[in-house]
Amino acid sequence: MYYFNKLAAEEGFGQDVEERSAFAEFMVFITKLAAEAFLGRESQEQRQYFSSKVTDIITYIHHNIDSQLSIGDIAAHFYLSTSYLCRLFKKSTGTTINSYIISRRIELAQKLLSAGYSVNEVYSMCGFNDYSNFFKAFTKKVGISPKKYSQNSLR
């Protein structure tokens, strides 16, 4: 209504220029509304697709947390390229897929250590290749070594 009133209100010198200007402003406004409506629907559909795809990826990670998980294996399982998988996961979760996997493994390790399993049993049960990688990741995330954590949780 603002634009129609603006068009009707102009009279006198330069009226034609004012009318064209108001009409152009109105057309830009309509174009923006249409673009937002179209892109809003498309991005909503994309968000649902991304959300369900990332949910499937997270479920897959949880089911296979105790095995050797590589980004290449995960990408192949979901028929995605590794770079697309990494971008999709980061965009949807705010963290990298490697960080997510390590965090889940450390959480599992904490539960197992608290349940009384030995450190040597735990690192292989959580999908770590070797004790050195496990020790570094655990200490970085938790703040103490796995052995101290185990001792503290059993008290």
Q: Which two tokens stand for residue 155?
A: 């008290």
More confident residue, 68 or 37: 68
Rounded CA-CA distance 51/49 in Å is 5
Convert the pLDDT of each residue in 93-121 to its tens digit.
888 999 999 999 999 999 999 988 999 99
State the chain's mean pLDDT as an integer: 82
What is the reported pLDDT for 142? 92
Three-state secondary structure string covering the chain: CHHHHHHHHCCCCCHHHHHHHHHHHHHHHHHHHHHHHHHHHHHHHHHHHHHHHHHHHHHHHHHCCCCCCCHHHHHHHCCCCHHHHHHHHHHHHCCCHHHHHHHHHHHHHHHHHHCCCCHHHHHHHCCCCCHHHHHHHHHHHHCCCHHHHHHHHHC
Comparing 86 with 44, the larger pLDDT belongs to 86
pTM above 0.85, yes or no: no
Q: Is 57 exposed, middle or buried (0-12, 13-18, 19+ CB in 10 A)?
A: buried
